[in-house]
Amino acid sequence: MLRFEHVCKRYPDAGDALIDVSFRLARGEMAFLTGRSGAGKSTLLKLIAMMEQCTRGNVMLDGKDITRIGERKIPYLRRNLGLIFQDYKLLNDRTVFDNVALPLIVSGYSHQDIARRVRAALDKVSLLGKEKKYPLSLSGGEQQRVGIARAIVNKPKMILADEPTGNLDPDLSAEVMHMFEQFMQVGVTVLIATHDVELIHRLGHRVLTLDNGRMLAN
C-alpha cells in the first residue's frame, strides 16, 4: 500500500528532516510512527499526504509514484487518504454534520448521498445524536471523533493520524485507538504518529521509529 525508498527531505534553510528512509506498509496494516520531537514524524506524514515533496528517493502510494506528482492530480489522489490531527482542525462555525460533510461536498456528491454517508460515518464514531451541535459545545474526545468521522466519510484506503490522542485522557485515547483498529479490520491501512509509548506497547502493533530523521530497524 505504501512504500518509501531511500527518501530524504531537506527544508530550505533547515537541516535534513528525513535521511534515507525506506519502509513498506501492507494494505490493512496498522503501525505507529514514533520518535522524539523533531525526529521527522510530521514530515513523513506530510510526504504521504502530498503536503510536502521529498528531496530525494521515491514515495509509492497504492501503486502510484507520488514523489513528484503534479499539483492538479493531488486533490484526486488525496481522496484515498483520511487525515486526522491533534488539534482536530474543525470549523467551529459549522455544525458537526457540515464538518463531516465537507470532503463529500468538495468531491461533488449529491445531497442524498452526503446525508447517508455522513450519518454512517457519525454512527461509526458513536456521534449520531450530535449532528446539529457545534464543535465548541462538544468535549475534546467528541471533537476528535468528529475529526475521525470527517476523515473516514470518503471511505479512504489509508488513514494518517498526527498525534491523534495528544489532547485526550488515557480512556479517550484507548477509545480512539480502538476505532483505528476497527478500520484496520476492514482493510484500511492506518499510520499513527505518536509520542505515547505506553499506548504503543499496550496495543502491540508494528512500530516505526525515527531518530533524528533516520528510521531505525523495524
Taking the complex as a whole, the smallest distance from the CB of residue 207 to ligand ATP amounts, in Å, to: 14
DSSP states of 163-200: STTTTS-HHHHHHHHHHHHHHHHTT-EEEEE---HHHH
CB atoms within 10 A of CB 95: 16
Q: Please say whether the beta carbons of 140 and 172 come within 8 A.
A: yes
As measured in angstroms, the least distance from the Cβ of 85 to ligand ATP is: 11
When asked if residue 14 is in the footprint of ligand ATP (CB under 6 A), the reply is: yes
**Identity of the residue, 65 or 211, whose beta carbon is nearer to ligand ATP in the bound complex:** 211
Does position 11 interact with ligand ATP (CB under 6 A)? The reply is: yes
Main-chain dihedrals φ then ψ at residue 134, nearest 5 degrees:
-100, 145
Give 4 or 109: the residue with its C-beta nearer to ligand ATP.
4
DSSP 8-class letter at 166: T
Residue 10 or residue 119: which is nearer to ligand ATP going by CB? 10
**Residue with Cβ nearer ligand ATP (45 or 104):** 45
Q: Give the side-chain half-sphere CA count within 13 A for 137.
A: 9
- In the complex, what is the shortest distance from the CB of residue 35 to ligand ATP, in angstroms, rounded to a whole number? 5
Q: Minimal distance in Å, beta carbon 44 to ligand ATP?
A: 7
User: What does DSSP assign to residue 56?
Assistant: E
Query: Binders of ligand ATP: how many residues, by CB under 6 A?
Result: 11
Taking residues 15 to 44 in sequence order and writing x for each that binds ligand ATP by CB under 6 A, - otherwise, the string is --x-----------------x-xxxxxxx-
Q: Within the chain, where are the H helices?
A: 41-48, 74-78, 96-106, 111-124, 140-152, 170-185, 197-203
Question: How near is the Cβ of 148 to ligand ATP at its closest, in Å?
Answer: 20
- Report the length, in residues, of the chain: 218
Q: Degrees (nearest 5) of the Cα angle 77, 81, 84?
A: 140
Nearer to ligand ATP, 41 or 117 (CB): 41
Beta bridge partners of 38: none
CB of residue 83 vs ligand ATP: minimum separation in angstroms?
14
Is 95 or 167 the residue whose CB approaches ligand ATP more closely?
A: 167
Q: Where on the chain is the footprint of ligand ATP (CB under 6 A)?
A: 11, 14, 17, 35, 37-43
